[in-house]
Amino acid sequence: MINLDSIQLREINLPLSHPFETSFGRTTARRILLIELEAEGLTAWGECVAGEHPYFSDETIDTAWMIIASELAPRLLDADLETPGGCVDLFKQIRGHRMAKGALENAVWDLQAQIDGVPLATLLGGVRSTIPCGVSIGIQPTPEQLMDKIETELAAGYQRIKLKCKPGWDNRIFEAVRKRWPDILLSCDANSAYRMKDFNHIAGWDEFQLLMIEQPLWYDDFYFHSLLQKRLDTAICLDESIRNRRDALAAIDMESCRIINIKVGRVGGFSEAIAVHNAAAERGIPVWCGGMLETGIGRSHNIALSSLSNFSLPGDVSASARYWSEDIIEPEVTVSPAGEIAVPTTAGRGFEVRRDRIESLTVRRQTFHARARVTA
């Protein structure tokens, strides 16, 4: 039985080491909502992946804060949870707000792993001791700067390069990259920047031998992606469209994609992420773990999730130093020359949280305490 003593929400502000640009906008610093749970003398953490603006998803850090404070935290503090997965039932009356729910549920998993004295990866059902890593490279001011970045990441060992793309930053770039690196694992992510009039244009990308084309069309679409997939040799990968297991089943059934990107926040927490993973595995669809420019807390949760068996393609989970001058965990996440991250084998998330650093970055906080319980 899990009974929480308190839930603390805090916002930290953290500048990115390098701006990150996608088809939907440019991020230079992050406002991040962290969750801290206390129970049985233990402290567990969660990270909400919602951004500052509703560009990637309709949730933002501010909507997540409001929903957690007004709806989710009171329910969680009052609950007698048997397992972390019990959060799903506890939160089901609230529609949507999956990133808010995921931040809390994942913190409860983090807590359970500590209570059980097992690595979080083991609690989730993970089997891998290392995870294969790729990088997501944002749109750059010039093609030359992009080529320099790719060179650096390949030299660091990363196994797959994903290029953010949009109309005007696509064919010319793919061509230049393929000319210099004909054989690397290369993919692209349009974050919904294309429309039906672009189908022929996208079909032309088959010549670049991309591993996949991520979310080329509308963020909430399956049907038009299925029409596009029929026109392509290259696999489509869905990110934004997949909100839960049912979406994965629908997308697989109508052949909207051949690969699925799983982001634990986007699907509402570890329980649903595992359900998507299993549904894809049963149907022979490989998955990989996406990223949302997380701090080490969310990153450590992504590492644990990536240890499940069907995470067979390199994910967007990469080294802390690619994002932050200093992370908020120690040790920081590092990647081996073979392009792998070692899955921690110690109890819990496997990385210490740097509380002093978090305190100094905190700009707002709100704490909820459990009501006194009647004990038998």
Give least dist CB 233 to ligand OSB, A: 23
Binding site for Mg ion (CB under 5 A): 189, 214, 239
The rounded distance, in Å, linking the Cα atoms of 282 and 263 is 19
The rounded distance, in Å, linking the Cα atoms of 22 and 24 is 5
User: Judged by CB, which is closer to ligand OSB: 61, or 87?
Assistant: 61
Residue type, 207: E
Give least dist CB 39 to ligand OSB, A: 29
Q: Which H/E stretch holds residue 289?
A: strand 287-289
For residue 43, give the 3-state DSSP assignment. Answer: strand
Query: Residue 366's Cα: distance from chain center in Å?
Result: 25
Query: Does position 216 bind ligand OSB by CB under 6 A?
Result: no
Tokens of 232: 């392509």
Q: What share of the chain is helix, strand, coil (3-state, %, to 5)?
A: 35, 25, 40
User: Judged by CB, which is closer to ligand OSB: 79, or 177?
Assistant: 177
User: Judged by CB, which is closer to Mg ion: 112, or 261?
Assistant: 261
The entry of ligand OSB, Mg ion, none that residue 287 binds, CB within 5 to 8 Å by partner kind: none
DSSP state for residue 166 in the 8-state scheme: B
The entry of Mg ion, ligand OSB, none that residue 12 binds, CB within 5 to 8 Å by partner kind: none
Give least dist CB 15 to Mg ion, A: 22
Among 21, 110, 170, 189, contact with ligand OSB (rule: CB under 6 A): 189
Q: In the annotation, is 179 catalytic?
A: no
Which of 101, 162, 164, 166 is an active site residue? 164
Task: Please give the residue whose beta carbon sits closest to ligand OSB in the complex.
Answer: 291
Give least dist CB 189 to ligand OSB, A: 5
Whether residue 38 contacts residue 4, with contact meaning beta carbons closer than 8 Å, is answered with yes
**Integer CA distances (angstroms), 232 to 4, 149, 256, 260, in order:** 50, 28, 11, 17
DSSP state for residue 162 in the 8-state scheme: E
How many chain residues interact with ligand OSB (CB under 6 A)? 10
User: Judged by CB, which is closer to ligand OSB: 120, or 317?
Assistant: 317
| Residue whose token pair is 């990647």 | 335
Which of 101, 162, 166, 263 is an active site residue? 263
Backbone dihedral angles phi then psi of residue 20, each to the nearest 5 degrees: -120, 120
The rounded distance, in Å, linking the Cα atoms of 230 and 235 is 10
Task: Please give the residue whose beta carbon sits closest to Mg ion in the complex.
Answer: 239
Residues in 128-147 at the binding interface with ligand OSB, rule: CB under 6 A: 136
Residues in 191-210 at the binding interface with ligand OSB, rule: CB under 6 A: 191
Among 316, 349, 351, 361, contact with ligand OSB (rule: CB under 6 A): 316
**Site map 317..356 versus ligand OSB, x via CB under 6 A:** ----------------------------------------
Q: In the annotation, is 164 catalytic?
A: yes
**Site map 282..301 versus ligand OSB, x via CB under 6 A:** --------xxxx--------
User: Judged by CB, which is closer to ligand OSB: 46, or 291?
Assistant: 291
Query: Residue 241's Cα: distance from chain center in Å?
Result: 14
Whether residue 260 contacts residue 248, with contact meaning beta carbons closer than 8 Å, is answered with yes
The rounded distance, in Å, linking the Cα atoms of 333 and 314 is 16
Q: Is 97 left (phi over 0), alpha (psi -120 to 50) or beta?
A: left
Give least dist CB 85 to ligand OSB, A: 25
Give least dist CB 38 to ligand OSB, A: 28
User: Judged by CB, which is closer to Mg ion: 239, or 272?
Assistant: 239
Give least dist CB 274 to Mg ion, A: 20
The rounded distance, in Å, linking the Cα atoms of 180 and 331 is 35
The rounded distance, in Å, linking the Cα atoms of 10 and 31 is 10
Binding region for ligand OSB (CB under 6 A): 56, 136, 189, 191, 239, 290-293, 316
Active site amino acids: 164, 263
